[in-house]
Amino acid sequence: MRLRRFLSKGGWNLIGADTNFSLADVTFTNDLGNSYTWANALSNNKVQAYLSYYDSSSAVASQRKFKYLSTISGMDDTSLRKNKGYWIYMNEAGNLTLPSAGGSLADETYDWDKLRFWNGSEEMNVSNAKNAAWIPSTGAIRFWSVEADEFRWVCNSLLEDPENCLATSLNPWQGYFIYSNYDNMTLIRQN
């Protein structure tokens, strides 16, 4: 089984997987080098027990909602699933080791200008997606700023005044909310 280690920050982190796996397969190592199984990390208050994910599988928009993943019975799911994103709250920083996990390494950043949008039949860069009204001209990508204790947006120099931008790139392990004027849009990194 391929393992991948990611730097996790204290607070909210967004993770994903290339295959299905159980939380029992996840380990956490804090900055002091202490390693914990998922169960031990929970009992030592290193992580929160519930991960959340957005279930958009329903054809009825009002039935699409956030659901919970946990090892505790009665939750919506007990395993991480392929091609889903999960929000995990870490009570302290360290390394999260996940089997077959996808994502970015801690030192990578990605320019917002290089993102592409896919609607299922057509792909557009950020500027064209804005012109086609797929995304708004300002505030299309938001993130929670712990320092400011509020939502901030990532600016695109093609769309907005760069002097007023709070961030122009996406950082690993920072969760982002993408505002789209249409359902089922896919965000693609252009390498």
List, in sequence order, every residue forming a beta bridge with 2; answer none if it has no partner. none
Q: Tell the residue number behind the tokens 């509020």, with chain if given.
A: 150
What span, in angstroms and rounded, lies between the C-alpha atoms of 112 and 154? 7
User: What pTM value is reported for the model?
Assistant: 0.57
Nearest to 23 by CA among 73, 69, 68, 67: 69
| pLDDT of amino acid 190 | 63
| pLDDT of amino acid 15 | 79
User: What is the domain partition of the chain in residue ranges?
Assistant: 3-102, 110-189
Q: Quick check: 51 and 34 in contact, CB under 8 A?
A: no
List, in sequence order, every residue forming a beta bridge with 154; answer none if it has no partner. 141
| pLDDT of amino acid 1 | 44
For residue 131, give the amino acid letter: N
Instruction: Give per-10-residue mean pLDDT for the chain (191 aa).
Output: 59 78 87 90 90 83 84 78 83 81 60 80 86 79 72 62 61 73 76 56
